[in-house]
Amino acid sequence: MKQSKELQKILQRIDGRSYKAYNDIKGIYKFEFFVLHIEHVQRDPFAGPSLLRVIVDERAQFPPEIITSQDQKIVVSDFIARIFDSSIKKHGKIKGGSGKSGVIQIDSGGQEVLERSCVNIRPGKLEIRFSIGLPARGRRIMGLKASRLLGEVLPLIVNDSCFYKNLDQKHLIKEVELYEDANFLRQKLKKLGLVSFIRDGSVLPRESGVSEKPMKNAVHFETPESLSVTIDTHNNGPVTGMGIPVGVTLIVGGGYHGKSTLLHAVERGVYNHIYGDGREWVVTDPTAVKIRAEDGRRIENVDISSFIHNPPMGKNTVEFKTENASGSTSQAANIVESLEVGTKLLLFDEDTSATNFMIRDERMQRLVSKEKEPITPFIDRVREIFTEYDTSTVIVMGGSGDYFEVADTVVMMDNYKPEDATEDAMRIRDELPINRTREVNFKFKFKKRYPEAESIKPFKGRKLKLDVRGKHTILLGIESIDLSQVEQLMDTSQTRAIAYAINHAQTYMDGKHSIRDVMEMMEVDIDELDTLAPKGRRYPHNLARPRIFEFIAALNRLRTFKTQKK
């Protein structure tokens, strides 16, 4: 191990030389209160940045009581990454140079608290992974600026973020206690007969359509008394809010009154949020999946016959395949694929659903006979999915009162405030009976699928190609996977982890394991994000843990993906 002074000498020596000379600094350097590992040096100032690690020993002095459990480590790591990022903005500006010269970046998060690879807490050791654009003018090394960046600026950033004594300890402890209590509430949902909980006082509206930050001066959530639930938490005492019961729940109300805003908060309640987000006390069944129509997506060997059967041209819907799904077939496949891997809560918004899939009313049934209509609408399957598969449904529905026939609970949003409208909806149902026919000929069913490893082709020529283009596109070999309609994917680093996970999952695709089996084995491996990284990519600095449901969603949208049925 070299001393930090030797790093400074090397940078002074290579000042003005060709950019390749930066390779001379690769290695391990001991600073006064941390050790710096320079793992990878970029090939030029316009290429991907250089990758570094900082190791701080027991002098970081984080109290054992806040870093003992895995939950605690996740939230403390998240907090450190955010402070590291804030300190970069405070200290890390080095002006001048080409490309991304002088830019320091760490994979800190947005409103959600996610397990990330950029900060790792081990016994007696804190590890930070980050990237730096090593300074250059053109392709000539700016060694003096690099010396200042690594020798002066970096120690300031590490000092601010990696030592417990220098942090806002009260804020950190709040975050830890909040994270623990949110997980506790989520675990209690099933025992309480709930699929989601929204605490009184929550702020659900967001700042804008492109920002997940809370809206200023927004209406605070108020629970109707009939749906009020109080739960004792370990750290924050009793919390009171609205419980959404198991079964079939409708969210109704006029336009712009907060229906989709409530659903948006519920679908993101599968994640924990930072203190002050407004949704930090919104928790949802962790297996919840948002379902929508997805025109144009590929479908591979999915049994959608419970929704679509005997279509014209004799298309096989028991082993349904298409390169260009319609709205109704894509929505049917999305439901079956989610049930296949064990979801216990389906979430729908009528605005993003195919109308002919959701409902066929009495008048349309009279005009178009069942013999001419291959689609069994969701309204005729939703209760069966609950009673037979223990899977609840929450639907934003503003346009069809026919769903009153199958609902257990009806929540009406009025100026962003919920009211329990169940009794009124049931009264209207009785006063205005409908005569539509339930269009079901057989029990809901689907078959297991067994993935074929050889259908995953991660190589482009001889080179392993695993990359992302933003949050919604995976580049795998010569293929791209479009995830723009997968709405519970929160972060580009989750997408990158999914790309790695698809490559890694081939290990378990031996023809004997179903997609559900592969998912369960992958869930264990994802517990340690580093295991997902392919050979040659040690110490990944920009992975965030995805849910297994988004991993499966990506696999299903890979256009080369093949499965068998047994």
Whole-number pLDDT of residue 371 = 87
- Please state, in angstroms and rounded to a whole number, the distance separating the CA atoms of residues 249 and 403: 10
Cα dihedral 509, 513, 518, 519, rounded to 10, equals 150
Neighbours of 206 (CB within 10 A): 20
Round to whole Å and give the CA distance between 389 and 563: 23
- pLDDT at position 384, please? 97
pTM of the model: 0.96
Domain residue limits, the chain: 2-167, 289-398, 449-565
Please give the structure tokens belonging to residue 276: 């002050």
**Given this model, what pLDDT does residue 292 score?**
98
Q: Give the C-alpha distances (Å, rounded to integers) separating 96 from 137, 430, 545.
A: 8, 73, 35
pLDDT at 310: 85
**Cβ contacts of 562 within 8 Å, gap of 6 or more:** 300, 301, 451, 452, 454, 455
- Walk along the chain (566 residues) and give the pLDDT tens digit of each residue: 899 999 999 999 999 999 999 999 999 999 999 999 999 999 998 899 999 999 999 999 999 999 999 999 999 999 999 999 999 999 987 777 888 899 999 999 999 999 999 999 999 999 999 999 999 999 999 999 999 999 999 999 999 999 999 999 999 999 999 999 999 999 999 999 999 999 999 999 999 888 999 999 999 999 999 999 999 999 999 999 999 999 999 999 999 999 999 999 999 999 999 999 999 999 999 999 999 999 999 999 999 999 999 888 778 999 999 999 999 999 999 999 999 999 999 999 999 999 999 999 999 999 998 888 999 999 999 999 999 999 999 999 998 999 999 999 999 999 999 999 999 999 999 999 988 999 998 999 999 999 999 999 999 999 999 999 999 999 999 999 999 999 999 999 999 999 999 999 999 999 999 999 999 999 999 989 999 999 878 899 999 999 999 999 999 999 999 999 87
